[in-house]
Amino acid sequence: MTRFRSSIAGVAPAVLFTTVMAALPLLLLFGLGFLEIDRGAFTGRISMHGYAAIFTDPFYAQVFLRTLAIAGTVTLLCLIFGYPIAYVFHRSGGVWKAAVLLCVLAPLLTSTLVRSFGWMVILGREGAINQTLLSLGILHSPVEFLFTLKGVLIGLTQVMLPYMVIPIMSSMETLPPALEEAAVNLGASRWQVFWNVIVPQTLPGIAGGVSLVFILAFSEFPVPALLGGATFKTLPVYIYQTMATLLDWSRGAALASMLLIGSALAVYLLQRIFRRLMPWAS
């Protein structure tokens, strides 16, 4: 008991410091939404203006639902493209496994801002995609990718894909080879082995990847701001415009608080869903 108390006393200052440093900015952000701020200056009055505008104006509901739909779509696309990549990594060996891992990790070595500018060049009317499709005769006129939902989804999927692949890869690497061999020996087809043995065993990795990608896509700013343009409103983009351009810090703080609460609620709901899918993990 004495050793336990001494160990608790040793880590208590670090835990307390971390808690305060994490909680204090969040409390300040939440409280800022109750202050009346005029063009960046505090007027000395407390007001519900910041939060009231969010719940009374249907425009904010549209922005929130659009951001939610984009995050959900990107998460689904990353799962569709990411799971086969993780499976190829699991099945590969030697040089090929290293090559797949390098391809997955390489985008993380470049900032999201640089990759977004790269996609602006690729997706433009004179970009590589349009020029290739035009030269092959598939298109007769360039497709508008930039400043549309299509461009935002393409850019976000590419940026978020590694965050889906890595947890699934880690989960697959823990699979005992004997499970697949036993299923094959019992007469299961390759598809049955994949669907009934591999997928259930990799649900923890899928849960981690889905949660991580959804939260990151839900709060992503650079990609929607650059590929969507000034008129393409998502919640992070509108928070930036509200605070930096309109200088309405009270409403911006309230929107940021709603973004934080929405992210936390999404994580909670995803955990509940995956716990039902993984009763052995509860």
**The pLDDT of residue 75:** 96
Position 218 in a domain:
yes
pLDDT at 9 over 70: no
- Find which of 26-35, 110-119, 173-182, 242-251 is predicted with most confidence, using mean pLDDT: 110-119
Average of per-residue pLDDT values in the chain: 85
What is the mean predicted confidence (pLDDT) over 27-49?
72
Position 84 in a domain:
yes
Position 214 in a domain:
yes
How far apart CA 45 and CA 189 sit, in angstroms, is 70
**The pLDDT of residue 7:** 62
Contact criterion met (CB below 8 Å) for 244 and 138:
no
Q: Quote the strand ranges of 10-110, DSSP E.
A: 35-38, 41-46
Position 28 in a domain:
no
- Structural domains in the chain (count): 1
Please name which of 232, 231, 234, 224 lies closest in space to residue 262, comparing C-alpha atoms: 234
* 3-class DSSP state of 34: coil
Tell me which DSSP letter residue 48 carries: S
pLDDT tens profile 133-159: 888 888 788 888 888 899 999 999 999
Position 2 in a domain:
no
Position 168 in a domain:
yes
Burial annotation 83-116 (CB, 10 A radius, 16+ → b, else e): bebbbebbeeeeeebeebeeebeeeeeeebeebb
If you search the block for the tokens 């899928």, which residue do you land on?
206
C-alpha to C-alpha distances, 25 to 119, 172, 229, 242, 265, nearest whole angstrom: 34, 38, 30, 19, 19
The one-letter amino acid at 125: R
**The pLDDT of residue 2:** 60
- Domain with 216 in it: 50-281
Res. 36 pLDDT band, cuts 50 70 90: confident
pLDDT at 231 over 90: no
pLDDT tens profile 172-212: 888 887 777 787 777 878 888 888 888 888 999 999 999 99
How far apart CA 210 and CA 17 sit, in angstroms, is 31
**Helix segments in 106-202, DSSP class H:** 112-123, 128-135, 149-173, 177-185, 190-193, 199-201
pLDDT tens profile 13-23: 777 877 778 78
Q: What is the pTM of this model?
A: 0.87
Higher pLDDT, 205 or 40: 205
pLDDT tens profile 54-105: 888 889 989 999 999 999 999 999 999 999 999 999 888 888 989 999 999 9
Position 17 in a domain:
no
Res. 274 pLDDT band, cuts 50 70 90: confident
Q: Quote the strand ranges of the chain, DSSP E.
A: 35-38, 41-46
First to last CA, the chain: 30
- CATH assignment at residue 164: 1.10.3720.10
Position 88 in a domain:
yes
Residues 6+ away with beta carbon under 8 Å from 282 = 275
How far apart CA 196 and CA 192 sit, in angstroms, is 6
